[in-house]
Structure 1
Amino acid sequence: MRSSLPSFEPGASGPDVFFLAADVGGTHARVGLGRTVQAASGDSPVELLHGEVFACAQWPGLGELLADFVARLADTPWGAEVSIQACVLACAGYVQEDQVVNRNLPWPVSISALRQRLGIERLTVINDFEALAHAVPYVKPWDMRPLMTGDGSAGGLASGTIVVMGPGTGLGCAAVLPGSAGPQVLPTEAAHVSLAPGTAREIDILRLLAGDRDHVPVENALSGPGLLKLYRAISTLRGESPVLDTPAAVTGAALEQRSEAAIEALSTFCALLGSFAADLAALYGAHGGILLAGGILPRIESFLQQSDFKKRFLNKGVLAPFLERVPVHLIDHGDLGVLGAACWLERELRRE
């Protein structure tokens, strides 16, 4: 299954470097053809020419998915002139030797095998939220929907460090640090921080999530699979048998108020998200703000606005006055991961 992203007519300026940029998640992969351009200050240094969205489960491997995208570039306006010189893949997880380590991807990923399959020697893998963070300088105020405006942020982001985070198939997080030579991006594995309950009920939930383990990562609650785990634990605590078997089913039942257990699960999810977002704001000194992305939040936006997210975000004792000044906004992940990966690659090329 494929769906198209917007394509753009070839520009008047000549191409610099053609490349592939992809944002590969556990459910979907967004792939784009781009090129570097001479940009004015504040504008993106890359131009995305063509892109598509793929359902990962319908492909035997990432190599086959990318090869299909490349093969069909012949049908685009750039087919005759494209010579792809580099590729950057934004994936959740981390690189260990030749492998991408991520239990949420539907297939193993070997970097050397991808290079051989695509015939592109310059192929690099970066963290998916590291890529998203590289797109932050090009996020416009009208692309953000305020959850908490903060004091003095003029309805957008403020000056200072910005944290980008979001739940999807997993939980991603990166920080954007201001610097004299331009913003610096710090990728993190914050998803593996221990889950910290904030109420007696959440302590009971944590016991069930832990089972016989002594570590429960926050991702086990703040992700699509985590939402399902919350629902199952809450059903057990309520003395009920869980009947919903997917994160989407839990979300739907909560939004339509068809299941008290689902409503409690989604409410708990939002409350834990508020606590964790505040933890990250405190850890990184996120005076600039928090951007919430990921595949789940756009669907539950209205629910999130009415939840305990704000209450739990500010429930940090003496840090509450600082957190009151931190703007929190929702953004649609969309093509920003592809754009950010492309911007990362352009920056690396410029450094050579």
Structure 2
Amino acid sequence: MAAAVPRAEPFIAADVGGTHVRIGLVARAAGAGPAPAVDVLDYRKYRCADYPGLAEIIGEFLDQVQGPKPTRGVIASAGYALEDGRVITTNLPWTLSPPEIRERLGLTALPLVNDFEAVAYAAASMDASEVLHLAGPRKAQRGPALVIGPGTGLGAAVWIPTHGGAVVLATEAGHAALPVGNELELALAQRLLRDRSYVPVEHFLSGPGLLNLYRVLCDLRGATPTHAAPSDITAAALAGDDPLAHEALSAFCGLLGSVVGDMALLYGVQGGIYLAGGFLPQIGAFLSASTFVERYLNKGAMRPALEQIPVKLVEHGQLGVIGAANWFLQQRD
């Protein structure tokens, strides 16, 4: 549990992704009610590959803070925390150990929260970050909300309202087994299962996953891959000049819709579905025109229930920082 801090004392919140680290200097908002609310006093974004570790990134941020240096912070990151504080993660270019960073930088508190759990704690800010309304009514019922997004991996968390505030259920959805919903997905899965016994969802539903999907599709079609990065595939698909890139991105969108529908049913989602993070905002129009919504709704007798859930694409932006800060404050309340 995070250490208690004076109500107005600023602290740092770091949202650590596989490609970028976003850091904010934050403080509880003046007049905030029982649910935590924060003001972002400063905000910066860093490329992971440009630094040897997170300590160097946070240290640089602290050097640029005007006035008294904050002594506490919180880190939001994917991964599994070991007893010694180190974090097992396959998405970062360096090891992550919050206790070592805390000691090295002279901080008194630096707890860790799951990255998509943190984003879910920013649920109150989601609608303001809306980029595109994909399905369902504009206004949601009261009930659990799902936050999910393909970045370096596939992250997901469930925000659950209660009479005493809200709780968030973190998940490892990206490591669930890949579902199959049509003949193409079956053929892709069969190709992968030739040399492995398990294919996780994020092997296809993530940034690197799109590249995996494209390469397996090329193999299936007897073609030589011409793209070496997910951004190249999305650019070619959006330009409309590469049929295989277009087919790969289309398959990605359909599979994402199917997985989102499954998760909505598994977790009893009623309060909205928010697609956050990764490259989705860049392909909003493509996603809207794809089979995403039909695959999301294609759940037999449960289709009418899914039709009542708003599905929105949101810009990740500062949501991870705000959510991590909200989580930190809730731990001390």
Report the residue type matching 2:26 in the other structure.
G
- 2:122 is matched with which residue: 135, 153, 160? 135
1:205-224 equivalent positions in 2, closer than 5 A: 205-224=188-207
8 Å Cα contact 1:141-1:156 kept in structure 2: no
Aligned to 2:256: 273
Aligned to 2:109: 122
Aligned to 1:177: 160
Pair 1:292 & 2:271 matched: no
When structure 1 is superposed on structure 2, of 94-103 and 172-181 the one drifting more is 94-103
Once the 2 structures are TM-superposed, how far is the Cα of residue 309 of structure 1 from its aligned partner?
0.5
Report the residue type matching 1:136 in the other structure.
A
The total of aligned residue pairs comes to 327
SS of the aligned residue for 1:194 comes to coil
Aligned to 2:64: 72
Provide the alpha-carbon RMSD of the alignment: 1.6
Pair 1:322 & 2:315 matched: no
Once the 2 structures are TM-superposed, how far is the Cα of residue 42 of structure 1 from its aligned partner?
8.3
Report the residue type matching 1:213 in the other structure.
R
Aligned to 2:76: 90
Report the residue type matching 2:70 in the other structure.
I
Once the 2 structures are TM-superposed, how far is the Cα of residue 319 of structure 1 from its aligned partner?
1.0
8 Å Cα contact 2:35-2:165 kept in structure 1: no
CA deviations over 1:89-139 (Å, ceiling 9, x no partner): 100122122211110111001122101121113111111100000000233
Q: What is the TM-score normalised by the length of structure 2?
A: 0.94
Aligned to 1:100: 87
Once the 2 structures are TM-superposed, how far is the Cα of residue 40 of structure 1 from its aligned partner?
4.1
8 Å Cα contact 1:147-1:305 kept in structure 2: yes
8 Å Cα contact 2:211-2:229 kept in structure 1: yes
Aligned to 2:46: 54
SS of the aligned residue for 1:105 comes to coil
Sequence identity (%) = 44
Once the 2 structures are TM-superposed, how far is the Cα of residue 86 of structure 1 from its aligned partner?
1.4
CA deviations over 1:290-337 (Å, ceiling 9, x no partner): 100111100110000000011111111111111111110010000010
Using a 3 Å threshold, how does the CA distance of structure 1 residues 309 and 140 change in structure 2: closer, same or farther? closer
- 2:37 is matched with which residue: 35, 40, 45? 45
Following the alignment from structure 2 to structure 1, what is the Cα–Cα distance between the partners of residues 33 and 101? Answer: 35
SS of the aligned residue for 1:295 comes to coil
Pair 1:25 & 2:17 matched: yes
Report the residue type matching 1:349 in the other structure.
R
Gaps of 5+ in 2: 1-5
Gaps of 5+ in 1: 1-13, 74-78
8 Å Cα contact 1:32-1:50 kept in structure 2: yes
Aligned to 2:230: 247
SS of the aligned residue for 1:21 comes to strand
Report the residue type matching 1:347 in the other structure.
Q
SS of the aligned residue for 1:298 comes to helix
Report the residue type matching 1:37 in the other structure.
A
Aligned to 2:215: 232
8 Å Cα contact 1:165-1:171 kept in structure 2: yes
CA deviations over 1:63-97 (Å, ceiling 9, x no partner): 11111110121xxxxx22x2413110100122122
Following the alignment from structure 2 to structure 1, what is the Cα–Cα distance between the partners of residues 238 and 256? Answer: 17
8 Å Cα contact 1:31-1:338 kept in structure 2: yes
CA deviations over 1:209-266 (Å, ceiling 9, x no partner): 3341111000001000100011001111111011100000011111111211111100
Following the alignment from structure 1 to structure 2, what is the Cα–Cα distance between the partners of residues 156 and 142? Answer: 15
8 Å Cα contact 2:150-2:277 kept in structure 1: yes
Following the alignment from structure 2 to structure 1, what is the Cα–Cα distance between the partners of residues 234 and 295? Answer: 21
Following the alignment from structure 2 to structure 1, what is the Cα–Cα distance between the partners of residues 129 and 326? Answer: 21
8 Å Cα contact 1:43-1:138 kept in structure 2: no
8 Å Cα contact 2:36-2:330 kept in structure 1: no
Using a 3 Å threshold, how does the CA distance of structure 1 residues 16 and 158 change in structure 2: closer, same or farther? same
Q: What is the TM-score normalised by the length of structure 1?
A: 0.89
When structure 1 is superposed on structure 2, of 204-213 and 57-66 the one drifting more is 204-213
8 Å Cα contact 1:173-1:187 kept in structure 2: yes
Aligned to 1:340: 323
Aligned to 1:161: 144
Once the 2 structures are TM-superposed, how far is the Cα of residue 45 of structure 1 from its aligned partner?
2.4
Aligned to 1:7: none
